[in-house]
Every structure is written in structure tokens, then in C-alpha cells.
Amino acid sequence: MAYASIASLMRTIELLLTSNSPMQSLIGDHKEEFLALQEKVSSLEVFLKNFEKTNGTEKMAYLEAQIKDVTNAVEHTIQLRLTEAVMADDEMQKEREDKRLFDSLKQVAEEIDHVQNGSSNFQDYDTVSCYHRIWLLEKLTQYDGSSRKLKVISIVGMGGIGKPTLAKEVYDYESIRSHYDVRAWTTVSQQYNVKDILKSLLHSTIPDRFDLGNESRLAYMLQKSLKSRRYLIVLDDMWSRKAWDGVRQYFPSDNNGSRILLTTRNEEVAYSDGTKNLSLLMHLMEQDESWNLAKSIMFANEALPYDFETIGKQVVEYCQGLPLDIAVISALLSRFKRTIEDWENIAEDVMSLVTEDLYERHLHVLGLSYNHLTFFQ
């Protein structure tokens, strides 16, 4: 239950803040941050109670799952940071861990805001674990010792699993916007062109204007626009090592904490710099998690008839844990007028392709969804 997770986190924070607790010395100069976090967690419990009064079972179940995830992640993060502080064996390392604790407190506070602010629109489904976001936020904002070097961080997983969704959520966080002097995003895709990639990035780094030119000229302008500035570059959907090698040389390294974030289906691209420990491998959703997502989209807070549930579960099982496919096909089913015949026809079309290739299934689902929506409109 979400209430139990909230209570556990509150006990952890209260223990740290108790004046005679031996753990209080671990929080250093961050008492105010912990007090603010305590207030935020307390408001989350009030928010959950108020939400319960005005919303149905399905929305409530989804929100509870989100709150349980985020409070467990927050508690885990606090415990991890405090353990690292205890293990620090010199003053310099203690200062680094103190900074990491401070950054983590800001990030977990944003995670709580993320849950509350996102609850008003349950069509924007957060299918990615908050542990992933906290991990990414930490890697993108570390700024001490070797973390000052330019680093490449990767989100790896097959198409449809939610890589751009996760990257975009983190890209727009306030702690990210304030941490970097400049941010730029471009989508690479399978049919890439280095010149187009450079032009797209320049639109973000020099938004007013820039001169057109050949690849060398564009590369020079990009390097100049990034020089001596802390930057975050997102290269979304990097398909091949060749594409990555074609642009990586144009990003300056000024030891100021700049980062490049790749989303890719290709583990060779993700691990090409020997940075496997900086790569986040995204997995498929579990069966129960998949069905909860689909059910929330298809029926919101309405009752779920047995016949529809049987068909819905068959379709969701076909999606094999791909969040995008589950969301797309569930949204399609929700648009039809609750006639069992329509659902049976869609299910038959969706499951007509018999293949073990998950990506081929993914394309099949997207194509059929497009065709049905075109007909429906």
C-alpha cells in the first residue's frame, strides 16, 4: 500500500532529524533540506487522501502504484547516500558525498512533484520507473572529481520501450535546466546525416541565427557555441556505431561536467566508450504491470466487464511488455463504443501476425492501430 511506503519514509526522515539520534550527524548541513522533504512527503499523504475521495478505483490504484514507487526510491536513495557518507575515509571524499547527498535531496523532491503534477492527466502515462529517473538525474548532475570530465550516458533498449520518454522527462527537469548552460536535443534515426545533426543542434545552441555552410563549417560553429559552457546534448535514437563516430569528435571537453545522453537500441553504441556502468538498460514491463497500465487507459475509473477483460488481456499479452504498444492499442480500444464485436475484430487483427520477433510485432501493432484509427475517424 502507498500509505505504508509513505509512513516508512516519514519514519526514516524523522529518525534523521531527532536531536538525540546518532544518525543526525550524518545529515551534516542539510537539516533544512530534510525538513523541506519531510513537509513534501507529508503533503503527499494529504494529496493521496484527497485524491481518493474524488476518483475511481482504477485511477486510485495507478496513483498508489506511482506513490509507492517514488517513496521507496526516495528512501533507498537517502539510505544509499548516508551509507556512502559513513564509508568516506578522508575529508575530500566526505565533501564529495556531502555534495551528492545535497543533489539527491533536490532530485527526490522533484520526483515527488512529478507524481503530484502528473496525476491530473492520466493519459500521460509514466511507464518508466522513478528509479531510472533518479539514476539519470544523478549521473547528469554529478560535478566533482572525475565527474567534471565529459561523459557519455546511454539509455539502451528496443524500440517502443520508452527510451525517449524517459530522456525527455529528465531533460525538462528544473534541476537539469539550472545545472547546464545550454541544452540541445536532436533525433538521429537510422537514415542519419551528420550535417543535418549538426544543424539541428545549432538551432538549440544558437537559436537566433547561424550561417549555413558545409559540414566542417557547421562543426566549427557547434564547437564554438559549446566551448567553455557546460552543456547537455541528447542524441535520440542513435542506431549505429558509425553514426556515433561521425559526430562525437565535435563535442568539446572542458572538464566542466558536460554530458552527452544517447538513446539507442544498439548495445555496441552504448558501450563503445567502455562506459557500461553509465548505461541504463531498460527492460520490458512485467505482466501485472502491463495489464494495470492497459486497464487504466481502456477503462479509466469505469467498471471492467468480464468479456472485455478477457479480450484486453489477450491483446496486452501479445504486446509482450512494450509500454508504447500497450498504450497505443489500449487507447485504440478505448475509443470504440464498448461493443464486444469491435474489440474482437481489433484483437483478431492485432494477433494475426504470428512471429517471435518482438520488434516485428511492435511495427505490426503500430500499423494496425493507425489503420483502425483512420477508419474510425
Q: What is the mean pLDDT of residues 137-160?
A: 82
Helix (H) or strand (E) holding 183: strand 182-187
- What's the pLDDT band for 108 if we cut at 50, 70, 90? confident
- What's the pLDDT band for 235 if we cut at 50, 70, 90? very high
Q: Closest Cα to residue 293, out of 66, 55, 4?
A: 66
Contact between 151 and 113 under an 8 Å Cβ cutoff? The reply is: no
Question: What does pLDDT average to over the chain?
Answer: 78
Give φ, ψ of 274 to 5 degrees.
Answer: 70, 30
Lowest mean pLDDT among 197-211, 231-245, 284-298, 361-375: 361-375
Q: Is the pLDDT of residue 207 over 80?
A: no
State how far the Cα of 320 lies from the Cα of 287, in Å rounded to an integer. Answer: 8
- Model confidence, pTM: 0.62
**DSSP annotation string for 205-262:** HS-S------HHHHHHHHHHHHTTS-EEEEEES---HHHHHHHGGGS---SS--EEEE
Check residue 64 and give its pLDDT. 78
Q: Is the pLDDT of residue 132 over 60?
A: yes
Mark out the alpha helices in 257-304 (DSSP H runs). 267-270, 287-299
State how far the Cα of 261 lies from the Cα of 116, in Å rounded to an integer. Answer: 27
Check residue 369 and give its pLDDT. 61
Q: Which residues of 112-122 are buried (b: 16+ CB within 10 A; e: fewer)?
A: bebbbeebeeb
Instruction: Find cell 512533484 and name the residue.
Output: 113
